[in-house]
Chains A and B, each alone.
Chain A
Amino acid sequence: MLCADNITLGDRLDGVSAGIAPGRITAICGPNGAGKSSLLSVLAGLIAPDAGAAELDTTPIADLSPRARARAIGYLPQTPEVAWDVTVETLVDLGRLAWRGGPLAKRRSGGADDAAAIETALDAMELQDLRTRPLSRLSGGERSRALMARVLAGAPQWILADEPLANLDLAHQLALLRLLRREADAARGVVLVMHDLALAMNHADEVLVLDEGRRVALGEPETALSENVLREVWGVDARWVGEPGSRALALR
């Protein structure tokens, strides 16, 4: 379980509590400025909250060593940058950093584990054909898969990603969600900040709705993103149409 226990952070989060179970896709939704990214950063252990605590299986994340935390939680920032034009393979290899020793031990300790984890990540994101290609020569969709493969290479129990579907066209959004679903089925926890409510409705198992730093709803998408919540939080008068699993939002 990844738990937020009464987290308060400046004027961005106000006493947010939530328990997130592994093996499912959890979406964090909310209007701009609701505190979604801040909550994700706190859950990833990157920001210490002013009050409350983020806990991983009852251990406060702040008590974990940076390395133990990095091994347990993989995090993909909202605007991922890669400073140098490395190949896909090298990028994915960076995801293994938390498993390696110093510069002398780099090629030796856990070399086999490293290689296996990198292969698994490349397979999972269907990147084998692109492994030697530099990032500058990837399309947007390929790039986002490579960045996600970097996270997977660390073999984290938890994958926390801040809007991984933004900037992707519909086909690539669905492809990435399908790949993330496989990770959730493999008992990992997948937590995604999502803007597209229809994608959250159809693909998440659990939705946490934030508004002005407060938790408004947490539960199955059909209830957490009910038409009442949409009206109350987003201020839009909208109606879900279609069958569960292929819902679309009709604005009135």
Chain B
Amino acid sequence: MRRPVPILLLAIALALPLSLLAGRVWLDPATTPNATVILAELRLPRGVLALVVGAGLGAAGAAMQGYLRNPLADPGLFGIAPGAALGAVLSFWLGYAAQPYALPAFALVGAGGAMALLSLIAGRGNSVLLFTLAGMMIASLAGALMSLAISLAPNPFAMSEIVTWLMGALTDRSWSDVWLAAPLIVIGIALLLLAGRGLDALTLGEEAARSLGMEPRALQWLLIGGVGLTVGSGVAVAGIIGFVGLIVPHLVRPLTDRRPSSLILPSALAGALLVLVADMLCRILPLASELRLGIALSLIGAPFFLALLLRIRRETV
């Protein structure tokens, strides 16, 4: 069942041109001077980056919910996003953040570190629960180290830079960010699609999944690679953007046959659409300074999610 895919593709095709024109100053390509440069060098890379980052977060969220058999799972649970954020924070701390590629490179190394720790654990046990708890420990360790780095920041300027960056944004991104993140995220989504069959089997519980030929280690490797690349690269170029990985699979699930493998691609597309639209709203809102994307998504996401939960509760009671 792939009905949502064409609809989402169509919505993205409509939203992308709109997002290119939208901003504090609406762009009229016919009259604005230098419209081509603004579009090609500022707004298009930002739009593409929003799509790519959102797609990664959406796909990772769908895969995580499938793996944990829990609709409340979120890609942050594996500790990869905090690991990447820790790397980025260190680049500020050490004063490298202003150099080109240094910040995303540090973040990718941080994500890689979290993935390496997860792999060490994956080599030891097959159980979903053990693996997830270990991921949560990595997340809280990275979070603590991040707070430590912030509290020991060399100067107030570095501290405020770190805190602002952590809020997540797509401001002032260029094609180089796109070229860095896009290939990694695409590979990550491909790995998650490969994990689909194992995730489908897990629908029936771990024991039944193994009786269907699911290999727990292979599945863990695919997830470490897939979630690591999608979320790690997303954080590297956009900071922490929450809620996408949690909400999007919820929205998309009723449109599919509810099998984890049928959810990954539509979630990637819906995640792309959500981040693109949220980023566009951030630019349009008449505030003194631009609203940070991470904050905006949480502001939209939290009440929305609460409403969703209450509705689900009413339906099941």
Contact = CB atoms under 8 A, between A and B. Distances in A.
Interface of A: 41, 44-46, 66-67, 69-71, 73-77, 80-87, 90, 94-95, 97-98, 100, 102-103, 106, 150, 154
A150 B205 CA distance: 13
Contacts of B212: 70, 94-95, 97-98, 154
Contact of B213 (A41, A77, A85, A98): A98
Pairs A-B, 4 closest by C-beta atoms: A70-B213, A83-B69, A75-B211, A98-B213
A46 B207 contact: yes
A97 B258 contact: no
Interface stretch (B13-21, B115-123, B192-200, B295-303): B192-200
A226 to B, nearest CB: 33
A103 B261 contact: yes
B197 A97 contact: yes
B259 interface: yes
B214 interface: yes
A170 B77 CA distance: 45
A75 B197 contact: no
A77 B197 contact: no
A96 to B, nearest CB: 9
Q: Which of B200, B207, B212, B258 counts the most chain A CB atoms within 10 A?
A: B212
B208 A103 contact: no
Interface of B: 69-70, 193-194, 196-197, 200-205, 207-208, 210-215, 253, 257-261
Contacts of A80: 204-205, 208
B259 A94 contact: yes
A86 B201 CA distance: 13
Contacts of A100: 197
Given A90-B257, A90-B258, A102-B197, A74 B211 contact: yes
A44 B194 CA distance: 26
A67 B212 CA distance: 7
B204 A82 contact: yes
A87 to B, nearest CB: 7
A100 B201 CA distance: 12
A95 B200 CA distance: 10
Contacts of B201: 94, 97
B279 to A, nearest CB: 30
